[in-house]
Structures are given as C-alpha cells and as structure tokens.
Structure 1
C-alpha cells in the first residue's frame, strides 16, 4: 500500500533532478521550465512522459550527467560557459544589445524634449 506512493515520489524526484541537470540541448519537445512544471503538476504522468519522450538519450557519450566524475580545476569560470548555438546570443552580447536599445530610446526621448522646447520657443516668439 505504501510502495506505490513511495515509488511515485522517487520517480518524481529523479525526474526533477534529471531535468535540472540536463543542458537545454538535451531536452526534447519543450523547454526545461515547462517540463519542470509538468512534472510538478502531474508527478506520476509527468515523470513518465519526461523519461519516455522529454530527454535526449546518448548525447553525453553513453554516460549520464549523474555518473560523470567531478574534476577540480583552476580554469576560469568563463571557460565553462556554454557556447551559443546558431542564432543565439551570449549573455554579454544580449547585454550589449540591451545597452544599445537603452541608448537609442534615451536619445529619442532627448530629441523629443528638444523638439518640444524648440516648439515652445517658436510659439513664444510668434506671440
């Protein structure tokens, strides 16, 4: 009687850990966040769906993420960041793009303020 809920809970926890530890490229059909929500909202069915259709098998050279040994290293953190796939921007490129957008809209707002000031001065000179 207690075995089924215990197995469901173990499957639920295993699915959540597996989803969280997988890279985005190893997740099929839906984004990781959506899979996490499915598994949380529907623990048994969501976990079964995750292991049946949601994860990519065999992409880590036959070894699972959990079985890979941890290696101590002195390499900078930047070298561990994932390289962007085609069409994706790195975090630094996204931040630079956002900075350019902010500058553009600030310049637009400044130009609008200047145009409004010129219009006010023109109206005051005409009066």
Structure 2
C-alpha cells in the first residue's frame, strides 16, 4: 500500500512540475513559476495539490492536459538530396579501392616509362 501511494505521489509531482514548466507566465497565479517548482519539490503531495487547486489558470473548459508543442515542418524532401546508396559490402568496397589504387599505380608507371623513353630518344 505504501509503495502504491509513493508512486502516485511521484507521478502527481512529476505531472505538476511538467505543468508548471510548460505554462506561460500569465497562466500562473499567486506565485512566480520558480517558487511553484520549489514548493512542489519540497512538499510533493501538498505542493502538487495546491498547484492544481489554486496555482494554475484554468480555461472555461476546466481541466485539460497541456497540448504538445507543435513541431516545425521538416524541409521538403526535394530540398535535401537522398543519401548515397552503396549496396556493396565493406569487403567489396575495399577490394574495389585496392583495384583502383593498383590501376593508378600502373598508370603512373606507364607515364614514368614514357618520359624515360622520350628523354632517351632526345639524346
């Protein structure tokens, strides 16, 4: 029984803290928000009950859960390019890089030999 009561007080306290923090300053009555937070933390049960009874401004509709904040619209999909889709495995990518490195090495060797042949022919 004591554990259930403790959990309920904790849930009530967390709910009150979230409600206090998410309220606009003009929706908080009698004390500044900081003092309400301190009161709820120091006296979880009494502070939470006092908050919900006299601390918050209620609309004519009565008690409502706070609305979640609206998220910003994501930029259109066309504005961001799609991520590259390389379906090769890591081993395949490494093997391709090794082949490319070998190809560049061979091209450099061919260029080097052409220069040597050109210098020998000029002599």
Q: Report the TM-score range of the alignment, normalised by the length of the smaller protein.
A: 0.5 to 0.7
What root-mean-square deviation, in Å, do the aligned CA atoms of Structure 1 and Structure 2 show? Answer: 2.5
After superposition, the C-alpha distances for 1:19-65 in whole angstroms (9 at most, x for unaligned) are 00001100000000010010000000000000000000118x87957
Q: Classify 1:32/1:69 alpha carbon distance in 2 versus 1 (closer, same or farther; 3 Å).
A: closer
What are the ranges of 5 or more consecutive residues in structure 1 without an aligned counterpart?
A: 75-127
Report the counterpart of residue 7 of structure 2 in structure 1. Answer: 6
Which blocks of at least 5 consecutive residues in structure 2 are unaligned? 75-123
Is contact 1:19-1:32 (8 Å) kept?
A: yes
Which residue of structure 2 aligns with residue 101 of structure 1? none
Answer yes or no: is the 8 Å Cα contact 1:21–1:65 preserved in 2.
no
Q: Answer whether contact 1:15 1:50 (CA < 8 A) is retained.
A: yes
| Aligned position for 2:90 | none
Tell me which structure has the larger Cα radius of gyration. Answer: 2
- In structure 1, what is the equivalent of residue 18 of structure 2? 17
